[in-house]
Amino acid sequence: MESSSSHLLAALALLAACLSPAHSQYLTQDDIPSDPADKATVVGRWFVAPHDGFQGLKTINPFLTDEDLRYTKRGDDCDDRKKSEVCAELPSWFSGLGLSQPTAADGIRFIGITDGGPANGCKEPDGTPDEVSHKDFVVPAFAPVVSEFRINLEAGALLLDNHCFLKGADGAPLTGLPNTDRDDVPFSGGDCEDQLDRSIDGIDPEDVQKIPGTDLCLGGDEYSPSMFIFNCNFGSEDCGTVLTRYIPEGLELPGAAYEVRPILPGAFLNRRKGRGFESAAISPDGKAAILLLQSAMGSDEDDSPFALSHTMHAVKLNISDPADARVLGHFLYIGENVENWFDSDEPKDTKLSSATWVSEFAGTDNDVLVVMERRKDQVTPL
Ligand SMILES: *[C@@H]1O[C@H](CO)[C@@H](O)[C@H](O)[C@H]1NC(C)=O
């Protein structure tokens, strides 16, 4: 069975190559089933294959010194590292993943964004209040990186085409460090040895989308929470420059290296720590964005009135002018009833991880999103 089906596949591939001289070695829209399926299908799986000479964090953040990387592992030491240890040669690319050129004939472009950098929870001193959490940043000088990939079908790999790091208006790299005392307390040095200063303009990206018809991208962020607009023209030296960051009313980020606009509904200030805008969807005309919080808001302590909430807040914005976005509405998303999940009855374990705008496939002008809703231990590793 194995050999006959692979012969058939080889013959079909040859036929396809003869029939279409423009056949791309990269994954295009034609390679993806277009008929509605009863359930989600896995089209394939690919590992990131960086280019020759790729040196991991040193390539994507060329300003990092050996001193900056002193708490990471390199070379053979990476092989037997513990889960909490970081290999400087293997960045984590996909805190967020979006499509930048879904119809390109020479390969669909995927756009990925890292989070705020490698970090671990750590031991908190006795007497630390519940609402305070300490986080150990392995590479505190790390600047979040946006990158562009194509799937090379011949190599069976996700090829890194382009990348740039987030920077302020002055061109200096931003960090992924927390902004205010509403976020985690940052440390470094292993088990929260040395307390770090917060960074007023650090960003911890959670999702990314290209804004159609522009050289700009939109990111969802965990701190505040916020939405940020940045240049993602990989051919430009301004790639990665953050232009505007939108935060909830009532908050300020004085001295940030980009414009800050407090226009989001102030209610979003009640987001749970570490549970920001994990999902960002953009309409195909590039005029509207919807951002969803990862979790319900309010304290999840047992005595809290919000402990059993599985209502996630979302905001819709007019981004026709990305530098002057306007709130169009504040919406509620009701998560799956916890009784339908098979392991846990804790609503706080429900997390929204990603959203994509699909009105065009649903044949309606209403806003229709496909949302990925997850619970602990319920994603099967492929
Ligand atoms: C969105 O903003 C643009 C101006 O930037 C305006 O012309 C348009 O009417 C707005 N759309 C909605 C739905 O408010």
Closest CA to ligand 1's atom 3: 320
Cα 202 to middle of ligand 1, angstroms: 30
Gap between the Cα atoms of 81 and 152, Å rounded:
30
Lowest mean pLDDT among 46-60, 121-135, 231-245, 317-331: 121-135
- Spatial separation of the C-alpha atoms in residues 280 and 291, rounded to whole Å: 4
Q: 380 falls in which pLDDT band (50, 70, 90)? A: low
Residue 5, C-beta contacts closer than 8 angstroms, at least 6 positions apart: none
* Residue 287 CA, closest ligand 1 atom number: 1
Annotate 333-353 with b (16+ C-beta within 10 A) or e (fewer): bebeebeebeeeeebbbbbbb
- 68-90 residue pLDDT tens: 999 999 999 999 999 889 999 99
Q: Is the pLDDT of residue 52 over 60?
A: yes
d(CA 239, CA 284): 22
Query: Does residue 153 surpass a pLDDT of 60?
Result: yes
Ligand 1 atom 10 nearest Cα: 318
Backbone angles phi, psi at 246, to 5 degrees: -105, 120
Which one, of 93, 55, 87, 91, lies nearest residue 71 by Cα? 87
Q: Taking the C-alpha atoms of 196, 199, 205 and 209 in order, what is their torsion angle to the nearest 10 degrees?
A: -160
What pLDDT, on the 0 to 100 scale, is given for residue 300? 85
Beta-carbon contacts of 303 under 8 Å, excluding residues fewer than 6 positions away, are none
Mean local confidence (pLDDT), 271-298: 94
Which atom of ligand 1 lies at the shortest distance from residue 320's CA? 5
| For residues 53-60, average pLDDT | 96
Find the range with the poorest average confidence among 156-170, 215-229, 279-293, 366-380.
366-380
Residue 343 pLDDT class (50, 70, 90 cuts): low
Higher-pLDDT residue of 258, 134: 258
| Pairwise pLDDT comparison (169 vs 35), residue with the higher score | 169
Cα(326) to ligand 1 centroid in Å equals: 8
- For residue 225, whether the previous peptide bond is cis, meaning omega lies within 30 degrees of 0, is yes
Separation of CA 146 and ligand 1 centre (Å)? 28
